[in-house]
Amino acid sequence: MKLALAQLNPVIGDLEGNAEKIFEACNEIKNMDVNLVITPELSLIGYPPKDLLFNPRLFEEEKDVLNKLSKRLSNLNKNLSVLIGIAEPTSGIEIPKLYNSVVILEKGGWRTIARKQLLPTYDVFDEKRYFRSAENSSVLNFNCQEKLWKIGITICEDIWVEQNLQNEKILGKDPIKSLEKEKLDFLINLSASPFIESKSLLRQKIAAKAAIRLSCPVIYVNQVGGNDELIFDGSSFTLNKEGKLQKELPAFKESVDLCDISSLKQQPFISSNYRTSQEVLFRALVLGVKDYARKCNFNSAIIGLSGGIDSALVTTIAVAALGISKVHAILMPSPWSSAGSVKDATTLANRLGILHQTIPISDVMNSFNDVLSNSKWGMPTGTAAENLQSRIRGTILMAIANQKKHLLLSTGNKSELAVGYCTLYGDMNGGLSVIGDLYKTSVFALCDWIDSDSSSSCRNDFFLPETGEIISSEIRNKPPSAELRPEQLDSDSLPDYFVLDPILKGLIEQHLPTDVLIDKGFDRKIVHKVANLVKNAEFKRYQAPPLLKISNQAFGSGWKKPIASG
């Protein structure tokens, strides 16, 4: 029996466009004797559809699209069957009113064959807002090559039941346990599992446990592409019944690949995917920017280029995602901007080959000072004056973005966002925060990798300069500074980032109390200062642009802290 794994990149809500992707994947393999095509979870509507699922007309359109697609596929190849993820309406008035389901298209028609049992509500997930849990595991009896195949069908979370591999497990039945008595020929998992660094290896371990428990091969098909803040890496794979990896599809790329069930035997496998963590991270962020721009109908991007490491990294990612001609940089020096920073920014823009323009803001600052000096509050000083510079820059960038329909990319990092070392309506302006889930120390590490020989293959793929440094040692090695006052350094206001970031990880990603961090050896005063900064900056994060999620705990839809709290 021959399968096709269709690792697809849907646009959420575009039922007809996503159906066309499925058809094109089937057309690609129509003459290859494929019996069954597998697409990802909710492949017809895209994941996560969120409150689009509250539109009742959506399901009439979904039914119409399925009817048309099943007939087209039958005309293409009468012997081809396709598994597609859909949102299936239920009868009655009880809520939730949907199942997260799988249908099979065959012989010009379609029918439901599986429903998801374990519905995640942690982190960015909120599936119980929309879906009911199925009560039973699903087995598809599939006639092929004069044999009746017994195929287990699971959806994403349904295989995440290995407590010794997971930090947490959803309360409920173990879908794999109920399949143990079925003597399956193989198990299929349709997934929409977002990217987190090292998660692809964990997925394979989880699936391997299922293969061993069921003594059958496992076919895992994952969504790929960026949808809002989430990045889906694909990395679909097949395992033999011993849980050994047999095939792995490319990460961060749409792909259709074949698998012959009879050939899945125990044999060594060498992955062709990217195993350098920095390259994986870079490719994830590039895909996130590329798809966010494409799916939101932006053809170009604009960035405020300061000569600092954050804006240098975001600019490099943007060029890799959108191309040289689609990225525009604006330099906005103030009286406190160093000559070195202006030179570094200009040199980087020239090295990347992007259009750039310098717009000094000294005159604008003077104009604001003149206006405000006549108010009863007087001319701003201290932090207010520093923030005014940032807001002037943010206003200029937004005006140009608005005029030219550019996507403004915010350049702040996670460390700054965590402690509020950022300005509302200033450097926080933007349509997308590219590195808002990257701590400052991670920014340093990623830029070191970009400037190393290890990035050569990645540079070639994205048409970046083939040789020499991109970010530059001048930018990478300079002390971090917002340059909003004479000789200002980040370290004037914050602990050194190599001290700050481990504390932030403990507070944000591990949810550790302050006394636990102190017991681990962190300075008491610094821990309490950082914890207070994180809490007090909550109102800023509520007004921040969406950010690309790459960690297990990002600010955004998966971070739900109150603004006002004791």
- DSSP class of 383: H
Residue from 26, 156, 216, 259 carrying the catalytic annotation:
156
501: Cβ contacts below 8 Å, ≥ 6 apart = 415, 439, 440, 441, 442
Q: How many residues does the chain have?
A: 566
| Domain range annotation of the chain | 2-265, 279-490+536-541
End-to-end CA distance of the chain: 61
Smallest Cα–Cα separation from 221: which of 196, 186, 246, 256? Answer: 256
pLDDT exceeds 70 at position 270: no
- Over residues 71-96, mean pLDDT: 94
- Over residues 188-214, mean pLDDT: 95
Domain 2-265 in this protein, CATH class: alpha beta
Express each pLDDT in 377-424 by its tens digit.
989 899 999 999 999 999 999 999 999 999 999 999 999 999 999 999
Q: For this structure, is 505 an active site residue?
A: no
Amino acid 480: pLDDT: 87
Q: For this structure, is 414 an active site residue?
A: no
Residue from 21, 26, 41, 241 carrying the catalytic annotation:
41
Residue from 97, 116, 295, 505 carrying the catalytic annotation:
116
pLDDT exceeds 90 at position 336: no
The mean pLDDT value of the chain amounts to: 94
Q: For this structure, is 209 an active site residue?
A: no
* Dihedral sign of CA atoms 397, 402, 403, 405 in order: positive
pLDDT exceeds 70 at position 267: no
- Over residues 543-562, mean pLDDT: 95
What residues does 239 pair with on adjacent strands?
Answer: 218, 245
Report how far residue 75's alpha carbon sits from residue 84's, in angstroms, rounded to the nearest whole number: 18
Please calculate the CA angle 330-335-338 and round it to the nearest 5 degrees.
75
CATH 3.40.47.10 fits 279-490+536-541, yes or no: no
Burial of 133 per CB tally in 10 Å (0-12, 13-18, 19+): middle
* Dihedral sign of CA atoms 158, 124, 313, 326 in order: positive
